[in-house]
Amino acid sequence: MLHYEHVVRHVRQLIGSTSTEPFWTHAELRVLVPACEDLSDGLTQDRELIGQDYFADKELLAAYLALYWPATYQQAMVTLKIANITPTKALDLGCGLGSFAVALSDAGAERVVAADRSAMALNEAEKLWGSGKFMWEHRDIDGRPPKGRYDVITVGNALNELDLEDAEIAGLIERWMAILNDGGRLILVEPALRDTTRTLHRVRDLIVENYRIEAPCIWAGVCPALENSKDWCHGAWPWTPPDMVEQLAAAVGVARDTTKMAYLILSNDEPRTETGRIARVVSEPRHTKGRLRYFVCGGEGRLPLVCPEKFAKKNDDLAPMKHLPKGTVIEYGPTQTKGDGEVLLKDSHVTVLAAADQ
């Protein structure tokens, strides 16, 4: 349930348009496209908007709703599916215009406390989504969390705006974990940019021994993506956005055909100790010269898993190697260590334990 028609009506009100066309008109695009470009630059390129109340600007707010809201709602839905939990009471920190809060409600939450420091964002979120299920709270999320205990806490695309050291973010995570109900989940989502993602990796390393990382990491050691400064590990899921999102994205020149994000899902269960041959696929396929190759990260760290194509054709137990979407969890073996990675043998197996969004 993407709620996009409702969002579009609200955007039109905000920019003073009376159109009811099923696509953005030229006049609407003249307002929305430059505002989307400013947001894109200010949040992901020069990042000059970070630390500012950009939602106090009506056009930026309208642009966020039109182009970013559906994408971040989708991030929330994907992570909630992976977290495999039906929340009753949820908390959304850095809620902005409520994409994660609304997704939590759609996933079953009866009550969602949603906090942000932008009064304008909270005001618009309340106008859009009402106050029955939602409690919109004006609050700095780097301070004391709201009272109560929660089944799910989400922090969507907000950690990178806090201007905190890694250890301070780890300290906040500790506070949030302390107000999770047993069996609950803390879901952290960050933009799939190199710097924001690598920060999440470093923070993960600070907490990996204290909390269970439900996803994406199976490996409980230090994050292998940090070894190379050009490297970062994020997820990407195919997405077909509504036509009007596609139209606006094309006009702005940004891609909207995948849901991309860096994420961590944490629980209070025992931290992982896996060392076996269970791993998550963390790269796109890198097939060359008759060999099927993927980077996988799991109980043995991050390594290239290689399968000669002819083995995958002849041995059904290796057939999954032909198509392993990034994010899939597999169990595999045996292998032989060779120059180009861990190479599966002709009678080895690869078993899919969980699809990329599960």
Ligand X SMILES: C[S@@+](CC[C@H](N)C(=O)[O-])C[C@H]1O[C@@H](n2cnc3c(N)ncnc32)[C@H](O)[C@@H]1O
Q: What does DSSP assign to residue 227?
A: S
Q: Output the smallest distance, CB 185 to ligand X, in A.
A: 16
Q: Output the smallest distance, CB 154 to ligand X, in A.
A: 8
Q: How far apart are CA 285 and CA 299, in angstroms?
A: 20
What is the SS3 assignment for 12?
helix
Q: How far apart are CA 286 and CA 78, in angstroms?
A: 25
| Choices 95-103, 233-241, 306-314, 332-340; region in contact with ligand X by CB under 6 A | 95-103
**Residue 145 and residue 176 in contact, taking contact as beta carbons nearer than 8 Å:** yes
Q: How far apart are CA 215 and CA 73, in angstroms?
A: 19
The 59-78 site mask, x for binding ligand X (CB under 6 A), equals -------------x------
Nearer to ligand X, 94 or 184 (CB): 94
Which residue of the chain is nearest ligand X when measured via CB? Answer: 96
Could you tell me which residues come within 8 angstroms of residue 246 by beta carbon, excluding any fewer than 6 positions away? 256
| Choices 96-104, 200-208, 211-219, 258-266; region in contact with ligand X by CB under 6 A | 96-104
**Residue 90 and residue 150 in contact, taking contact as beta carbons nearer than 8 Å:** yes
First vs last C-alpha separation in the chain: 19
Beta strands in 227-277 (DSSP E): 235-238, 258-267
What is the SS3 assignment for 194?
helix
Q: Output the smallest distance, CB 187 to ligand X, in A.
A: 11
The 24-63 site mask, x for binding ligand X (CB under 6 A), equals -------------------------------x--------
The 171-210 site mask, x for binding ligand X (CB under 6 A), equals ----------------------------------------
| Choices 92-100, 104-112, 259-267, 341-349; region in contact with ligand X by CB under 6 A | 92-100
| Choices 15-23, 114-122, 233-241, 246-254; region in contact with ligand X by CB under 6 A | 114-122
Q: How far apart are CA 192 and CA 187, in angstroms?
A: 15
Please list every residue from 117 through 176 that binds ligand X, using CB under 6 A.
117-118, 121, 140-142, 156-158, 161-162
The pairing of strands 180-190 and 212-215 is unpaired
Q: Which of 116, 151, 190, 214 binds ligand X (CB under 6 A)?
A: 116
Q: Which of 90, 95, 279, 307 binds ligand X (CB under 6 A)?
A: 95
Q: Output the smallest distance, CB 58 to ligand X, in A.
A: 15
Beta strands in 110-248 (DSSP E): 111-116, 134-138, 150-156, 180-190, 212-215, 235-238
Residue 94 in the binding site for ligand X (CB under 6 A) = yes
Residue 329 in the binding site for ligand X (CB under 6 A) = no
Q: How far apart are CA 203 and CA 51, in angstroms?
A: 20
Report the interface residues with ligand X, using CB under 6 A: 55, 72, 94-96, 99-100, 116-118, 121, 140-142, 156-158, 161-162
